[in-house]
Amino acid sequence: MKARAALQGIAGILLFLALWQAAVLSGIARYEYLPAPSAIFGALVSLAQSPAAYGETAHTIAAALIGWAIALAIGLTLGTALGLSPRVRRYTLASVEILRPLPAVALVPVALLLFGFSIETELFVIVIPTIWPILVNTMGGIASVPERLREVARAFRLSPFAAAVRIFIPAAAPAVLVGCRLSMTIALVLAIVAEMIGNPEGLGYAVVREAQALQPELMFAYVFVTGILGILLNAVLVALAKALLPGEFRRPSVAWDRPR
């Protein structure tokens, strides 16, 4: 069943590429800078042999992962505190709700003014918006732990710390994981945005550079690489979560690893 679904998926992609190829070769699609898939594939092969391309990819992965890790540390800590304590929630939730809808791209000029064209700018642009899904999901997950489990914690006379570690945090794990996955995607997108306009390095800068150099094959090849990167990072995260998640969530009926 699974293999068949995968084959059907691949067939769909191949069909799309074939139509694209035909449209370009036949001249139906008349865009000066729209290369055929075969040309993009050639550019990909040349990228695969270019050390510079590996360096750019490594830069983007590193920036996204470091930014994500920083956001994770901040988001999990704040989210746990907000989830556990209604008082902390009362004092800080308004600030969160004001900052959260701020469009991520609006941070780029702010960061540029503060840090110049640098990795600091890139990380700043990645970290701030990446915190929110982690924070909100962690907070929500912990705050919505069922009343019965709270009573179990009380009836068994668990200390606040023991209750958090043994009951609240594991009970919130699936929600926290959703936040981690959402934020991973955001971190990658923002790394590329930041590289396009803030920090001239990595894949984001490469896409812009090839576009300005009128090298559409290379530009599309770089776009393709960013797409593959997103898929790979998500797959690694899902595999990691499967290995680490507490027992219940390995049960087949819990659909935590379906796309949301």
In the complex, least distance from residue 151 CB atom to other proteins, rounded to whole angstroms: 6
Contact between 104 and 128 under an 8 Å Cβ cutoff? The reply is yes
243 binds other proteins (CB under 8 A): no
Residue 208 within binding range of other proteins, rule CB under 8 A: no
* CA distances in angstroms from 146 to 33, 115, 141, 172, 227, listed in the order given: 57, 45, 10, 10, 39
State yes or no: residue 51 binds other proteins (CB under 8 A): no
**Nearest partner of 23 among 36, 6, 9, judged by Cα:** 36
Instruction: Report the C-alpha gap between 121 and 197 in whole angstroms.
Output: 10
Of residues 45, 94, 248, 255, which one binds other proteins by CB under 8 A? Answer: 248
242 counts as binding other proteins under rule CB under 8 A: no
Question: In angstroms, what is the minimal distance from the CB of 38 to other proteins?
Answer: 50
Q: Find the shortest distance in angstroms from Cβ 251 to other proteins.
A: 6
DSSP type of residue 164: I
Instruction: Convert residues 125-154 into a mask of x (bound to other proteins by CB under 8 A) and - (unbound).
Output: ---------------------x-xx-xx-x
Q: How far is the CB of 146 from other proteins (least distance, A)?
A: 6
Minimum CB–partner distance for residue 141 and other proteins (Å):
13
Q: Which is nearer to other proteins, 37 or 170 (CB)?
A: 170
Closest CA to 189 of 223, 218, 213: 223
- Which of 155, 212, 231, 243 is close enough to bind other proteins by CB under 8 A? 155
What is the distance between the alpha carbons of residues 165 and 151, in angstroms, rounded to a whole number? 15
First and final C-alpha spacing in the chain = 22
Indicate whether 158 belongs to the interface with other proteins (CB under 8 A). Answer: yes
**CA-CA distance, 119 to 107, in Å (whole number)?**
14
* Sign of CA pseudo-dihedral 208, 210, 214, 219: negative
| Binding interface with other proteins (CB under 8 A) | 146, 148-149, 151-152, 154-158, 162, 166-167, 170-171, 173, 245-249, 251
